[in-house]
Amino acid sequence: MRFDEKRVLVTGASRGIGRAIALQFAGAGARVAVHYETNQSAAETTLAELPGTGHTLCAGDVANPDAVAQLVTKTVTDLGGLDILVNNAGIFEAHPVDEVSYEDWQHHWQHTLTVNLTGPANLCWHAVQHMRQSGGGRIVNVSSRGAFRGEPRCPAYGASKAGLNALTQSLAQQLAPLGIFVSAVAPGFVETDMASTVLEGPGGDAVRCQSPLGRVAKPEEVAHAVLFLASAGAEFSTGAIIDVNGASYLRS
C-alpha cells in the first residue's frame, strides 16, 4: 500500500497505536500530522522517527470544540490539505457502577463520552469540510472490542466505542456519494502504555490467554488494518468495522 503525498492527521499519535499508525503512513509515503494533547516531548520523538519529510505537529484537547477546529486548521495549513483522518485519541477510565460515588459516575461518563465520541464527531465534521472540497477522503476511527462484548468496569468506555461504531456507519452512508469513505478498527488488548497496568499485573496472563495466539496485539498490527481501510481499493469496505483482537472475541 502506497500513500504518496497523501495528507494524514492521526490523533493521539505521540505513543502507542497512534504512533504506530503515523510511522506506517509515513513509511508508505504520506505526510503526517502528529497530534498530541499535552505530551509534546513524546510527540516530538515520534515526529523525529517518521520516514520522509513534510510532517508536522499539532496540539489540542479533542474534548474542546474550539481546539479541534484549530488543530484541523493547522493540519491543513501545514500539510496543504487533508486526505485521511484517523481518530485514535481516547481515554479508558475505571468506574464500576457499584463502587464509585454518583459524582464520580457522572464525571467519568461526561469525560469519556466527550473525548471518545463527541471529539471524534467534531473532528469528522471539520475534516469533511476540507475533503469534500478536494474530491474525497478517508476517515478511520479506532473503536474497541469493548463496544461489542461490554466493559463492566469501564461502562462509559464501552458505550463511547459503541457510539463511535454507529457514527462510523452513519457517516459511511451519508458521505459515500461525496467520495469520502468511513470505517473503523476494533482492537482488543494491545501492547500500549494504556494497557500496561493490566498486562503487567496479576491478570496479564489471563488476558493473553483470551486469544488462541496466547498474546495481545502489537500496535503495528492495528496500524496495518487502519492503512488497509484508508487505501485505494478499499472503498467498498466503507462502513466496515474490522476486529483486530486475535479471535479473543468473535461476533456474528
Strand partners, 141: 87, 184
102 is a catalytic site residue: no
Q: How far is CA 27 from CA 3, 121, 184, in A?
A: 9, 28, 21
Whole-angstrom distance, CA of residue 172 vs CA of residue 38: 31
* SS3 per residue for 96-141: CCCCCCHHHHHHHHHHHHHHHHHHHHHHHHHHHHHHHHHCCEEEEE
User: Among 36, 102, 157, 249, which one carries the catalytic annotation?
Assistant: 157
In this structure, are residues 229 and 138 in contact, taking their beta carbons and an 8 Å threshold? yes
**What is the Cα–Cα distance from 90 to 240, expressed in whole angstroms?**
20
- Kindly list the catalytic residues: 157
